[in-house]
Structure 1
Amino acid sequence: MIGWSTRRVIRKTRWERALHQRGSVSAFLATEDHVVVHERHTRVVCLDREDGSVRWDVPVGTWPRDLVVADDRCLVLPQTPDQLVCLDLRTGTVLWHVDLPRFSGHVVVAEGIVLVGGWRGYTPLAAFDLRDGRSLWQTSAPVRTALPLTWGGGVLLGDGSDVWLMDPRDGGEMARWELPEPLIDDELRPVFTPISPDRCLARCGPRSLMALDLSSGTVDELVRHDVDLVGQAAEFVGGSVWLRELRAGYSAVDPDAGSALWRVDVGQPLVRGVVRADGGFIVASEGALFRLRPDGQVVERTPHSQRISALRDLGTGEAIVTTRGTLKALALDSHRPR
């Protein structure tokens, strides 16, 4: 018998925004003061994080392959037109834009440099100055990579069993690892999880998690799970590594030893996102939010009237959920279950 109570995980809804399209965790991002979201199929909107009021609303083309905030800039890579657009995060003013080859994908910023390309191996990698969009360099041939990650003083890229760290200033290789099992094949979602300046995790195959060590140049298998995992990066929350299982639940493991800490099973699949709250955690299914104790035990459940697609931590006891058609900021209840 499931032994949790139905109580208030949510204290109140801070604000709610209709998107007029299906919400996606990859089509919004949050900073200390802003929430930037793609909505109405062709708009990017900046909201005040506190009350959800609109700061700016600009057209940027159709559904973005990438939405990135760096410094005081917002970078948008729409599917059409084939351009990279840089907006002022404070005002929404277009600061610069550059034309790109068709099917360009992936955007990452490191050391004031914007790296674009590598999606499905359609295009070369190209680097632009974040300040003014000036072209800096481009690879001589198309490159295929999973979604890149800024880490270790460079940009981490990967394809199949090969992972390499690239210097964003000139495209030079800083480090390389050969994985014992290929990376998961996902076009747009993360596959890498940084857990320290020298250590990063890579999701491989249906059940594996590899640890890359920058200082030693080694790669080790951290986890080989006993059931299939969702094809996306692990999450590092509250000092534990969280792996979302394909059929249902989350498993938490020790980031050093890879040993199992606990498993969260509510009898139904959980959406992506683990949030810290009151020393414990919050996770969500499509129809409810669940409070976990620090040891991962489920103690409270709050039904949610709209179907949840993702959960995102805002810090300070707040979270955002995306649903089939809304973005909703929640204040989490401060009750500490015993």
Structure 2
Amino acid sequence: MIRGVLWERDLHQRGSASSFLVTEDRVVVHERHSRLVCLDREGGSVLWDASIGTWPRDLVVANGRCLVLPQSPHQLSCLDLRTGAVLWHVELPRLSGHVVVSTDTVLVGGWRGYTPLAAFDLRDGRPLWRTPLPVHTALPASWGGGVLMGHGSQAWLIDPRDGSEMARWQLPEPLADCELRPVFTAAGPDRCLARLGPRSLIRLQSSGAFDQLIRHDVDLAAEDAKFVGGVVWLRESRAGYLAADPDTGSTLWRVDVGQPLVSGVMRVDDGFVVAGEGALFRLRPDGQIMERSPHAQRISALRDLGAGEMIVTTRGTLKALALASRKP
């Protein structure tokens, strides 16, 4: 299944799904415990290397900017994605967490209810507003012309420029406890998927309504749904993936490879690719496994690069791989 290794990068730390981002022509990765490195997506060469502090609580790329929120120092830094130069930074309260960008506004705060929510102008870091009291929210998501937030059995949409509430939903059960991982998945301009409890997925509508989409029979991983190839993918906590119809929620297939699958689904011309901790699996369009490719290093995350290429993280590396063309 694997045609070859395109390039490989030693991270000098364990790789994870939250430690790197893929853009149209670049890969941004946290490595060596305190460095943020930008790589050329095609060849893996280093474009810039910047010191940003200890392990980031959040890493976001938007509008030619790279925003990073490390555990220490307690500040949000905005870097130029082309050069790595620091454009601005703002000091934040200790234990700040969550960063989301909506058009020209950056929102930060609300992790575990430790800090207020604050908004800054993306261009220059100018403060726009701050809540008077701490806010408790899951990782927010840009959607529906605003920023979607939630905690417990409530979800609400705010205007990022002034913090005013645009819509609110009373949920049938509490949002899944995903910690620093996403809980919301935008599935279009007027609908967004939200993970609830240990087994549920609902669909929020921009009108303020919602409908129950999936109630699974086993526990799901504490993370958002993936929307890949017109299919909703939900990772099970102990087995594989559940694939469902995005309109009806009906089960299309289940992928069980006899080992836990990691975060990430890749779309290829003739199906999909998912990763277990020790192998890659090529799936047919109906989800049936048609090829298994063992991997010497334990995989922790998979991301699609397009054109039959992917990135995987392992215990200590970031690796770009190319898929072999499937024989007719």
| TM-score after normalising by structure 1 | 0.96
Show structure 2 runs of 5+ residues with no match: none
| TM-score after normalising by structure 2 | 0.99
- The separation in 1 between residues aligned to 2:2 and 2:109, in whole angstroms, is 40
Q: Does 1:107 align with 2:115?
A: no
Q: Does 1:245 align with 2:231?
A: no
Residues 336 and 157 of structure 1: is their aligned pair in 2 closer, same or farther, counting only changes over 3 Å?
farther
Q: Deviations over 1:295-325 (max 9, x none)?
A: 0000000000000001111112111101000
Q: Does 1:325 align with 2:316?
A: yes
Residue identity in the other structure for 1:55: L
Aligned 1:181-330 pairs, distance under 5 A? 181-215=173-207, 217-330=208-321
Show structure 1 runs of 5+ residues with no match: 1-8
Residue identity in the other structure for 1:298: I
Q: Give the count of matched residue pairs.
A: 328
Residue identity in the other structure for 1:262: W
- The separation in 2 between residues aligned to 1:255 and 1:182, in whole angstroms, is 21
Q: Aligned residue for 2:83?
A: 91
Q: Deviations over 1:2-48 (max 9, x none)?
A: xxxxxxx2111110000000001111001011100000000000000
- The separation in 2 between residues aligned to 1:316 and 1:244, in whole angstroms, is 24
Q: Deviations over 1:239-271 (max 9, x none)?
A: 010111111111101111110100111111111
- The separation in 1 between residues aligned to 2:55 and 2:80, in whole angstroms, is 20
- The separation in 2 between residues aligned to 1:104 and 1:135, in whole angstroms, is 16
Give the superposition deviation at 1:278.
Answer: 2.0
Q: Aligned residue for 1:64?
A: 56
- Residue aligned with 2:202, SS: strand
- The separation in 2 between residues aligned to 1:199 and 1:336, in whole angstroms, is 39
Residue identity in the other structure for 2:224: A
Q: Aligned residue for 2:116?
A: 124
- The separation in 2 between residues aligned to 1:254 and 1:120, in whole angstroms, is 33
- The separation in 1 between residues aligned to 2:80 and 2:263, in whole angstroms, is 29
- The separation in 2 between residues aligned to 1:323 and 1:28, in whole angstroms, is 12
- The separation in 1 between residues aligned to 2:211 and 2:165, in whole angstroms, is 21
Kept in 2, the 8 Å contact 1:273–1:284? The answer is yes
Q: Aligned residue for 1:4?
A: none
- Residue aligned with 2:116, SS: coil
Q: Aligned residue for 2:30?
A: 38
- Residue aligned with 2:300, SS: strand
- The separation in 1 between residues aligned to 2:195 and 2:237, in whole angstroms, is 14
The RMSD of aligned alpha carbons is 0.8
Residue identity in the other structure for 1:317: G
- The separation in 1 between residues aligned to 2:258 and 2:178, in whole angstroms, is 26
- The separation in 2 between residues aligned to 1:308 and 1:316, in whole angstroms, is 21
Runs of 4+ displaced beyond 2 Å: none
Q: Deviations over 1:31-89 (max 9, x none)?
A: 01110000000000000001000000010110000111111111110100000011111
Kept in 2, the 8 Å contact 1:74–1:89? The answer is yes
Q: Does 1:158 align with 2:150?
A: yes
Residue identity in the other structure for 2:145: G
Kept in 2, the 8 Å contact 1:277–1:332? The answer is no
- The separation in 2 between residues aligned to 1:189 and 1:67, in whole angstroms, is 11
Q: Aligned residue for 1:3?
A: none
Identity %: 75
> Which of 76, 81, 84 pairs up with 2:73?
81
Residue identity in the other structure for 1:56: W
Give the superposition deviation at 1:237.
Answer: 0.6
> Which of 125, 128, 131 pairs up with 1:136?
128
